[in-house]
Structure 1
Amino acid sequence: MNTSSVRRRPATGTVALWLDLKDAAAERARPERLAAMGAAGRIAGARLGPEAGVAAARRVCDALRPLHDRTGGRRGTVVLGLPSPASSPHPSPPSGPRPAPDAAGLVRGAASLADRVDRPNRAVALPANDAGVAAMEVLLGRGLPVHLATCFSARRYEQAAAAYLAALTRAHAEGRDPAALASTVAFGLRPLDVRIDALLDRAGGEEAKALRGTAALLAARLAQRAGARLFDPRTSPAWKALAAAGARPLRLVWTELGDLAPADGAPAGYTAGLGAADATLAVPAEAFDAATDLRPGPARADEEADARAEHFEACLRWFGIRPDEVVRELEGEPAEADAGPAAVTGPSRPPRDRTLVAGGAS
């Protein structure tokens, strides 16, 4: 990478950790330990899997309620997982097209689950697809914070941010507190690199090899830049008014990190690249102790991220890889009618300058 395009600022703040309590882990979680971890500032919140029962969800919510109250809702949120298929937007390995629940069904399911748990610090997870974003705006309009999980592109984050801003604007106009709607978007990392890297490996050659391990961090930095732009009161009059009323930006939560407990023993370095000041990382229970040692790294301002992303996507398409289709698959969206699944077909002729492919996206 051309380091002249990246400005680094001294780190401040903390790396916030969300504890992933998937499935049976929520049933086994000890409320007194969770409460102590919250009191000590070790965790920012928790995510539950779709199999967690209502009683377990209430126990976790109650354990983190003091943290939620003490921080004015900035920490201590517990994300409730919806039952399948909404809770698993990216099967691995791919299992072919799957029908996604419509927005109305998601709204009914999420509202029902939130009502049954009935705790002020709960939020409901929605899939990061078109139906999930549509349901997100409706649920926010009903006063229910949400967690969009899991997106893999800045474009999806921007779509969610637009829905979030619209809902908060209406809430503020109606005299409701926008701070009570503080919501989050999970941004997945490792699955995107795994899928893109596999396609690059099929393409073969040094040029393809040079692009491996690039997709996830580049996509994540584009999402960071989008958030900084959309939720900057200096450049957005709409957000300035909302922020003055107590609204909070739609926060990114980095998840599916892989390098805290890598399956292949090869850390991808996501925490080093994204564990900057005020970052939020979702980590599984088995990796939590290691993650508590993380310290904020220097903040980044990659002024050429947009150009690098455009070049990287052009390189992928030269190899016959359609990154938009890979993202749609991961996010559980059906393939577009006029486009087949992402595949490596290989170029028919070499590019004019092979060095553009061999390292231009590094």
Structure 2
Amino acid sequence: MTTSAKERTAAGDVPVWLDLQGGVPAAAQLRSLIAGNRIVGAGLGPDATVATARRVCDTFRTAREEGRGGQGAVVLSPTVSPDTEAAELVRRAASLADRTDRPGTAVRLPSNDAGLTAMGVLLGRGLPVHLATCFSARRYEQAAAAYLAALERARADGHDLGGLASTVAFGLRPLDLRVDALLDRAGSAEAKALRGTAALLAARLAHRSADRIFDAGSPAWRKLAAAGARPLRLVWAELGGLAPGGGDPARYTAELVTADTAVAVRPGELGSLAGLRPRRGRPCGAHEAAEHFDACLDWFGIGAQDVVRELEGEPGTPAPDRAQVAGGVA
């Protein structure tokens, strides 16, 4: 894999979660990526060997020790399927982390019910988690609740909470593609005018939930934060090759990325973040806009539950062969 000098530095101040599932750059190139960008984490695919995982972990550790960045965890990806049960998720994730045998690792879990259960167990063992991929604010809130409960138990047991910082990937383009197809099926001009709306609304609601749950004024969170805990970071993921409504591919990140979130990109895609800066403040009216959007979906006969569960890999969910779009954006 080759990476140009322009791509190595293009992201600037935008927090980046480096997606290495398509391949891992050579050591020198990876060091340049870490040094030239604000990398807050990196994720390996299930095909990555233990030797590769160790090399990436060692590169990140060296960068941290030299003060050159690379503060986030390296995410290991055990081979699992949507119907893998929680106990088996725990076993496979822990086994992969043990075989890799490097500090600064996290493990990837599905964002379904089994994944959230496994998350609590693994955090209790001192292993951070990256949930991939959720598509609704409701699922993020469930993940945050599991995270907080695990942190409370860890604090009571006297564990250091600083090393348990975890992340949740929030998928964008797949949700828009699914909802847009259903709106096209509805056929009216009014329905088609809503295309490219679902993902941004869902993401804004998730961001609002994060602000509320991890607010510094919350007594429960203040105690955890004082013990070193960090909020469950949202990672905007699966932007896809097309943007909402077929417009500028950077629209998702331009409207969503802030200093406390991150955007998942592959090494060769860093140029897409050129010129962007973390957004200050939050868009207003997200909840009202989402309620209006859900009401419109209902009007066009589009439901709001099964499709998000199917996208998130919840076992037992039928394929969405009828006009359903799950979870709503709420």
Question: 2:313, 2:319 → 1: CA distance?
Answer: 15
- The 8 Å contact of residues 283 and 291 in structure 1, kept in 2 or not, is answered as no
The 1:286/1:265 distance shift into structure 2, 3 A limit, reads farther
- Which residue of the partner structure matches residue 208 of structure 2? 225
Question: 2:141, 2:195 → 1: CA distance?
Answer: 25
The 1:46/1:293 distance shift into structure 2, 3 A limit, reads farther
- Which residue of the partner structure matches residue 111 of structure 2? 128
CA RMSD of aligned residues (A): 2.6
194-203 vs 276-285, greater mean Cα deviation: 276-285
Partner-residue secondary structure (3-state), 1:44: strand
The 1:173/1:158 distance shift into structure 2, 3 A limit, reads same
Matched, 1:61 2:53: no
1:46 CA drift (Å): 1.3
> Which of 32, 37, 48 is residue 36 of structure 1 equivalent to?
32
- Which residue of the partner structure matches residue 143 of structure 1? 126
- The 8 Å contact of residues 15 and 275 in structure 1, kept in 2 or not, is answered as yes
- Which residue of the partner structure matches residue 279 of structure 1? 261
205-214 vs 62-71, greater mean Cα deviation: 62-71
- The alignment of Structure 1 onto Structure 2 pairs a total of residues equal to 313
Question: 1:334, 1:141 → 2: CA distance?
Answer: 25
- Which residue of the partner structure matches residue 189 of structure 2? 206
Partner-residue secondary structure (3-state), 2:17: strand
1:324 CA drift (Å): 1.6
> Which of 228, 243, 248 is residue 267 of structure 1 equivalent to?
248
Question: 1:322, 1:74 → 2: CA distance?
Answer: 42
Partner-residue secondary structure (3-state), 1:300: coil
TM-score by length of 2: 0.87
- Which residue of the partner structure matches residue 332 of structure 1? 313
1:57-96 Cα distance to aligned partner (Å, 9 max, x none): 111111111344578x98231111121425xxxxxxxxxx
The 1:174/1:194 distance shift into structure 2, 3 A limit, reads same
> Which of 227, 251, 271 is residue 289 of structure 1 equivalent to?
271
Partner-residue secondary structure (3-state), 2:235: strand
Matched, 1:343 2:325: no
Mark the runs of 5 or more structure 1 residues left unpaired by the alignment: 1-12, 87-99, 346-360
41-50 vs 128-137, greater mean Cα deviation: 41-50
- Which residue of the partner structure matches residue 79 of structure 2? 83
Partner-residue secondary structure (3-state), 1:212: coil
- Which residue of the partner structure matches residue 243 of structure 1? 225
Matched, 1:15 2:17: no
TM-score by length of 1: 0.80
* One-letter amino acid matched to 2:77: G
- The 8 Å contact of residues 325 and 335 in structure 1, kept in 2 or not, is answered as no
The 1:321/1:340 distance shift into structure 2, 3 A limit, reads farther
The 1:138/1:69 distance shift into structure 2, 3 A limit, reads farther
Question: 1:163, 1:157 → 2: CA distance?
Answer: 10
Mark the runs of 5 or more structure 2 residues left unpaired by the alignment: 1-11
Percent identity of equivalent pairs: 61
- The 8 Å contact of residues 16 and 37 in structure 2, kept in 1 or not, is answered as no
1:257 CA drift (Å): 1.2
